[in-house]
């Protein structure tokens, strides 16, 4: 099942962040992203797979974070997440079965019901957890996306090999 997952679609608020919107007078919203999620997203891309961001809000911080992580597919301002999801399918030529969608709230229900592997974060609404094939142990903004990536790549038998690339070469004679 997850061996065939090729596209990871991520909600932002409540998934890549803890869902709090820090509003600063006369300035934009402040969003806090978790560094562990960033590392895992890089690993996911290094495995030759795609990642996309799909969010109802619009924020320069999201564009900036996506740019840092090399995420090319960023759809902001999509209240109707199903239409955003369908647009990603069209543009990337992805089938429902090949998509894992990670969400936390009602807006995510439709694409979650459509995709091959719906995931809810620990902090998601109960109704969202109910339609999920997998619920993370970590909450949004606290490394939940890293957990999803590890889960999918482990099932595909690739996680250890991908992480091994970051280790020093083994020393002869040492286990």
Residues lying near Mg ion in the complex (CB under 5 A): 11, 13-14, 104-105
Give the Cα separation of 110 and 104 in Å (integer).
Answer: 12
Q: How far is CA 136 from CA 80, 92, 121, in A?
A: 24, 26, 5
Nearer to Mg ion, 14 or 141 (CB): 14
- For 107, the 3-state DSSP assignment is helix
Nearer to Mg ion, 14 or 111 (CB): 14
Q: How far is CA 53 from CA 40, 82, 101, in A?
A: 15, 13, 10
Nearer to Mg ion, 37 or 105 (CB): 105
Q: How far is CA 133 from CA 22, 25, 119, in A?
A: 31, 40, 6
Q: What residue is closest to Mg ion based on CB?
A: 14
Q: Quote the least distance from Cβ 14 to Mg ion, whole Å.
A: 4
Q: Quote the least distance from Cβ 68 to Mg ion, whole Å.
A: 20
Q: Quote the least distance from Cβ 164 to Mg ion, whole Å.
A: 33
Q: Quote the least distance from Cβ 93 to Mg ion, whole Å.
A: 26
Nearer to Mg ion, 124 or 153 (CB): 124
DSSP secondary structure string, 158-173? Answer: -HHHHHHTTSPPPPTT
């Amino acid at each position: 099942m997850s061996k065939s997952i090729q596209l990871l679609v991520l909600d932002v608020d409540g998934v890549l962040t803890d869902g709090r919107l820090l509003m600063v007078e006369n300035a934009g919203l402040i969003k806090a992203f978790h560094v562990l999620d960033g590392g895992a997203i890089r690993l996911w891309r290094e495995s030759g797979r795609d990642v996309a961001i799909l969010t109802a809000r619009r924020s320069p911080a999201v564009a900036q974070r996506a740019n840092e992580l090399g995420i090319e597919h960023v759809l902001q301002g999509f209240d109707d997440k199903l239409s955003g999801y369908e647009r990603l399918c069209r543009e990337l030529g992805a089938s429902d079965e090949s998509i894992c969608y990670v969400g936390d709230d009602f807006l995510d229900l439709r694409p979650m019901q459509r995709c091959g592997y719906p995931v809810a974060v620990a902090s998601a609404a109960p109704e969202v957890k109910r339609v999920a094939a997998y619920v993370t142990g970590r909450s949004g903004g606290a490394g939940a996306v890293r957990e999803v990536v590890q889960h999918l790549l482990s099932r595909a038998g690739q996680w250890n090999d991908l992480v091994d690339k970051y280790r020093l070469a083994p020393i002869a004679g040492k286990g």
